[in-house]
Each structure stands twice: as structure tokens, then as C-alpha cells.
Amino acid sequence: MAQDEKRLIEEVTQSEYKYGFVTDIETETAPKGLNEDTVRYISTQKNEPEWLLEHRLKAFRKWKEMEQPNWAHLKIAEIDFQDIIYYAAPKKKKELASLDEVDPELIDTFNKLGISLEEQKRLSNVAVDAVIDSVSVKTTFTDTLAKHGILFCSFSDAVKNYPDLVKKYLGMAVSPSDNFFAALNTAVFSDGSFCYIPKGVRSPMELSTYFRINAANTGQFERTLIIAEEGSYVSYMEGCTAPQRDENQLHAAIVEIIAMKDAEVKYSTVQNWYPGNKEGKGGIYNFVTKRGICKGDHSKISWTQVETGSAITWKYPSCILSGDNSVGEFYSVAVTNNYQQADTGSKMIHLGKNTKSTIISKGISAGHSNNSYRGLVKMTKRATNSRNYSQCDSLLLGDQCGAHTFPYIEGANKSSIIEHEATTSKISEDQLFYCQQRGISQESAVGLIVNGYAKEVLNKLPMEFAVEAQKLLSISLEGSVG
């Protein structure tokens, strides 16, 4: 048994990162380092209006005064913020009129990633905005969506075409001085996705963004802004990969969601950045600020995430429930293996009356990794009759890993109920034995149990992602026995 375990764990730790290829695309990059000139360079490159440059500079000045946070349960090698290229874009040969003119290398990249833009367009009903290194390269289905009045485009296009909307909502959920990485992103963000769902519209298809870091030594700083007007609905998906490199690369993104009265936004992520090799070398530093505001009454924001990649994950998708009767949800599966570290969870800030939130977090740690849940549930005085339920389970596979839970619970009124429960354990020997007894191999049995353990969250994912997520889970963990 012990021998088997060892072999199986080894197998798991040796499973390769299949998205680790580099695409040979000529890129245009900003000079290394960060100063006001870099910020101005990026802004000029993108032909941005004056107010946006000011917004960036304001954030940059705040950032200079801030210190990198160290409260997370993470060991982060010192990041030299001057040794990063803050802007890299695939070199534009000429203006593109249709998909056919997109660099074939690029198309090839996306095909390898399994999100063939062409095929997506034809076969599935998903609109994709693909962001490579910091620039949005192709958005599909724009026309179809436009018929419904939905605006779905790259962030730069949005700045160009809908400056009023961007100006009104940018920074509403995540202010430029919110935290160290948010300030950095606000100063140097290069592109991202923008999505606006008008009043009463139910998006006819799922919207999706695909992020890819390709160039070496670059950081990716994208920005997503989703605005759901009164009574609208959208389901939004985000996926990400990066090539295999020895050095660590920085990814500091911001996602902002604003949900008006009766609106519902469902945001799903499958995060599969390069996690580093099995000695813990390389990999992406993923420092992401995701926050949604339920501004209107009866609005709802739901975050679902499957986190399997990144050397370090620092990410707390949050909901500010300011509208009465609004609902926030957070479903997460975080898998860490080898020397990966994850400190992730959610913040639910209840401001409105009768607000409800649910947090379901499933952590799985293997190898030498550390996986922490860190969350905040806050009921303010005004949030009467509010309700929160949190459940954070951790599964340990192997005796060299760690699983931690750091919930912060703050109650300040007499009519709200907050419940938090968490358990930490290894795969039950009984369950394993039961499966094996019925002729299921140890490896499949573990896969079965882990998948069952994560089911509660996987079920919340849109169809396309659920399949991918399940595959990812099995790649990362199949056969590990604790």
C-alpha cells in the first residue's frame, strides 16, 4: 500500500503542464521597469483620453506609497517590480478586417488551447474575447450580441467607443487605492474585457474571456468590467494559461462587476496558469482583485472558481451586498500540488437588509503545497435579517502538504445569522476500501472520491467549463492517495 501510494503520488507530481508551449509571435513591448513614463507609454500606445491617464497616474502615485501585503499565508520570493515588462502586445501587421487575417500563429495557439476561435464561433454558442499577453486579439460574436444591445468588446475598444460608460463605472467596485496589486493594475493595465448588458436583457449566450501570457518577462495586467443593468442576466466565463518558463511571472488583474436592481451576474473562472515545475521553479504569481457590487435591490452575483494553476494564488472574489434582498455566492475548488501556494477565499460584506450569502470552498492539497482559505463575512448594523452560510472543507493528500482555514466573522446586528463550518481530513480509508472492493482501481477510486468531493462546486459551472474543470482536476490529482 505504502509503495503504491508513493508511486501514485509520484505519478501525480510528474503529470505535465500541457499548455506550456510558447508561441512565436512578434510582440511589441514597453521598456522594462515601472515609472510614470511607463504609465504614460501604455496610455499613449492605446490612444487613451486624458482622464484615463490621470486615473492611472493617481493609482500609480498611491501604489508608490503602498507596501506589498504580507498577511497572507504565503511565502513569496521578493518581486522586483522594476524587472518586469509592463506592456507586451502581439505586433500588429495591419488592421484586421476578419478572423481570416489574424496571425495564423495566433490562431494556432488558440487551437492548441482548445478554444479555437473559429470552431467556437461555429459549433458552440459562446462569445469569446481572447486576450494574449495584455491585448485583446479577437472578440467573437460581437454582431450577434449587438442585436440584443449587449456590448462585449475589449477594454480598449470600450474606452474608445463607450467612454462615458467606462468613466462612470471604472473603479466603482475596486478603487485605485484599494490594495497594492489593485493600484498596480490600475496604473498599468493594458487591456481586458468590457461587457454591458442593457436593461431587461438576458444574454442569449455565455460570454467568455481567454487570457494567455506568452512573452517572457512580462506581467499581465488585465481588467474586466461587467455592468448588468436592471433586470438583466449574464453568465461570464474566464480561462487562463501561460507557457512554461523558469522565472516567475506576475499576473495582477482586476475584475469588477456591477449589478443593478434585479440583475444577475454569474462569473465562472477556470484558472490554470503555469504552476511551476515539480521542484517549485517558475510559475505564475497570481494576485487578483475580484469584486462585485450588488448595487440594486434583489440583485445577485455568483462567483464560481476552479483554481488549479499558478505558483502563488492570492485571490478573494468578493461581493458587496448593498442592495436590499441582494444575494452573493462563492463556490470554489482550489487544488495545489508540488510547491504551489494558494491563499484564496471570499469576502461577503452585507450592507443591505435581508441580504444572503453562501460560501462553499473546497481545498485540495497534495505534494509540498499549502492551501489556505481566507474569508470575511461582515454583517453591518443596517444589514438586518441577513443570512450567511459558509462551508470550507479541506482535503489533504500526502503528509508534506498543508491545509489552513482563516475565516473572519463579524456580526453587528441582532437579527442576522452567520454560520461557518469547516473540516479538514484525508480521503476516507473506508470509502477507498469500498470502491476497491468493488473492483475499482485505487487510482480511479481516488479520482471518483475527489470529484465527488468537489461536485458541489463543479455543478455550478457552465457546461463547457464543467467538462474542462473535471479534466483538470483529474490531471492534477488522479491517483493521489493520502
Distance CA 223, CA 217 (A): 20
**Radius of gyration for the chain, computed over Cα atoms and rounded to the nearest angstrom:** 22
399 binds other proteins (CB under 8 A): yes
Pick the closer one to other proteins by CB: 243 or 407: 407
- Compute the least distance from the CB of residue 398 to other proteins, in Å: 6
Q: Which stretch binds other proteins (CB under 8 A): 85-93, 142-150, 310-318, 419-427?
A: 419-427
Residue 422, interface with other proteins (CB under 8 A)? yes
| d(C-alpha 14, C-alpha 2), whole Å | 18
**Total number of residues that touch other proteins (CB under 8 A):** 38
Q: Which residue carries 495582477 as its cell?
A: 252
Query: In which residue are the cell numbers 463605472 written?
Result: 169
- Distance CA(85)–CA(35), nearest Å, equals 12
14 binding other proteins? (CB under 8 A): no
Query: Minimum distance between the CB of residue 382 and other proteins, rounded to whole angstroms?
Result: 9
Residues 355-394 touching other proteins, rule: CB under 8 A, are 379, 381, 384, 394
Quote the least distance from Cβ 13 to other proteins, whole Å: 15
Which CB sits closer to other proteins, 220 or 344? 344
Q: Which is nearer to other proteins, 221 or 373 (CB)?
A: 373
CB of 403 to other proteins, least distance (A): 5
Contact pick of 407, 454, 458, 464 for other proteins (by CB under 8 A):
407
Residues 4, 10, 146, 408: which binds other proteins (CB under 8 A)?
408
Q: Does 111 bind other proteins (CB under 8 A)?
A: no
Q: Please, are residues 263 and 298 in contact by the beta-carbon 8 Å criterion?
A: no
Pick the closer one to other proteins by CB: 261 or 387. Answer: 387
Question: Is-contact 289 192, C-beta < 8 A?
Answer: no
CB 340 within 8 A of CB 372: no
Comparing CB distances to other proteins, the nearer of 70 and 437 is: 70
Contact 286, 273 (CB under 8 A): yes
Distance in Å, CB of 410 to other proteins, minimum: 5
Single residue of 20, 114, 280, 411 touching other proteins by CB under 8 A: 411
Q: By CB under 8 A, tell whether 400 contacts other proteins.
A: yes
Q: Which residue, 411 or 462, is less far from other proteins as judged by CB?
A: 411
How many CB atoms sit inside 10 A of residue 185's CB?
Answer: 29
Give yes or no for residue 15 binding other proteins (CB under 8 A): no
Beta strands 233-241 and 254-259: pairing type?
unpaired
Which of 6, 35, 419, 434 touches other proteins (CB under 8 A)?
Answer: 419
Q: Return the C-alpha cell found at 55.
A: 486615473
Say how far residue 425 (Cα) sits from the centre of its chain: 26
Residue 482 contacts other proteins per CB under 8 A: yes
**C-alpha dihedral, 131 to 107 to 235 to 407, nearest 10°:** -50
Q: How far is the CB of 400 from other proteins (least distance, A)?
A: 8
Residues 125, 205 contacting (CB under 8 angstroms): yes
397 lies in the site for other proteins, by CB under 8 A: yes
Give the containing element (helix H, strand E) for 24.
none
- State yes or no: residue 413 binds other proteins (CB under 8 A): yes
C-alpha cell belonging to residue 374: 481566507
Q: How far is the CB of 288 from other proteins (least distance, A)?
A: 22
Binders of other proteins in range 66-95 (CB under 8 A):
71, 73
Least separation in angstroms between CB 378 and other proteins: 9
Candidates 243, 398, 447, 479; binder of other proteins (CB under 8 A) is 398
CB of 63 to other proteins, least distance (A): 20
Strand segments, DSSP code E, in 64-105 are 88-90
> Would you say 82 or 423 has its CB closer to other proteins?
423
In 3D space, the residue among 313, 238, 293, 228 whose CA is nearest the CA of residue 268 turns out to be: 238
CA distance 260 to 229: 5
Determine which residue in the list 424, 431, 442, 470 makes contact with other proteins, applying CB under 8 A.
Answer: 424
* Distances, alpha carbon 405 to alpha carbons 306, 346, 392, 395, 420, in Å: 18, 12, 8, 12, 11
Is residue 421 a contact residue for other proteins (CB under 8 A)?
yes
Residue length of the chain: 482
Q: Which residue has 455568483 as its cell numbers?
A: 302
What burial class does residue 165 get, using C-beta atoms within 10 Å of its C-beta: 0-12 exposed, 13-18 middle, 19+ buried?
Answer: middle
User: Nearest distance from residue 338's CB to other proteins, in Å?
Assistant: 16
User: Measured from the CB atom, is 162 or 406 closer to other proteins?
Assistant: 406
- Candidate list 425, 436, 441, 459; residue touching other proteins; CB under 8 A: 425
Give the span between the Cα atoms of 354 and 350, in whole angstroms. 9
Which residues here bind other proteins, judged by CB under 8 A? Answer: 71, 73, 379, 381, 384, 394, 396-426, 482
